[in-house]
Amino acid sequence: MIDLEPKSRRSTVQAITLSIVQESSNLAWREKWVTRKLGLIERFGKDADMSEYDAHILIVGSIIGALAAELWPGKYKDRQRFVELLVAYVDPVFGTKTISVPLFKAFLLEKGWVPEAKALGERWCESDECDFMLGIERDADEFEITTICPNVPRSFIRQFSYANLLYDEVQLGRECAHGRTKGIPPNEVGYTRRPETRRWSIYFGSDWLRALVVSAEELSRVARVEKSFARWWLS
């Protein structure tokens, strides 16, 4: 082992120390930025005259989009990187890869996949009379869905993952039956019926959304920036 001269050793220690301090500072700034943005939700909702749910979706969506753009910079991949962040850098307890059975079944019916939709309906029954239900009671992972619907392409199935549906909520502004969410806990994902059509709308609980963002920030801190990333989960 080569023993460095005092001056050289001092320079090396200074460089390493500076690197550690800068890294810690960057992480602290990132965490503070997310916390500050989350704190805007209540005030923003009142100032913009929007529902609490809309404010949550807008702020949370902007944070996730910014974190994703930091890891995968560039144009024309907003959806892919938004979803990638949520499936690769979020605690699995949030179930971001979970497939929405009610919305997927409606899609199958619209596209003429009647036997597959019927099979899903037999496996996960739902009452026409209920106005809300919890995702944990109805939704499933990709393996379960492909077992029941082996002929449906995986790319179709993943469109109905929580991660991708949250992107739709953010970007497409799907209207949710805000006044009919009392039965859905704030820390869960659930569904409410649209009064005019009786079709299901997905609803992401406020606490679930906040915790999702915190998890994404924490787990993506050490992620490597990849400008030419092409192995998207949503593909």
For every one of its 235 residues, what pLDDT tens digit does the chain have, with 9 covering 90 and above? 445 565 565 555 455 443 433 444 566 888 999 999 998 887 776 665 677 888 889 999 999 999 999 999 999 999 999 999 999 999 999 999 999 999 999 999 999 999 999 999 998 877 777 888 999 989 999 999 999 999 999 999 999 999 999 999 998 765 554 445 667 899 999 999 888 888 899 999 999 999 999 999 999 998 999 999 989 999 8
At residue 136, what are phi and psi to the nearest 5 degrees? -65, -20
pLDDT of residue 177: 47
| 193: enclosing H helix or E strand | strand 189-193
Count other C-beta atoms under 10 Å from residue 109's C-beta: 15
Q: What amino acid is encoded at 168 in this protein?
A: D
pLDDT of residue 182: 67
pLDDT of residue 18: 39
Rounded Cα gap, residues 164 and 202, in angstroms: 12
pLDDT of residue 1: 45
Beta bridge partners of 132: 192
Q: 134 CB contacts (<8 Å, ≥6 apart)?
A: 184, 185, 188, 189, 190, 191
- From the centroid of its chain, how far is CA 196? 28
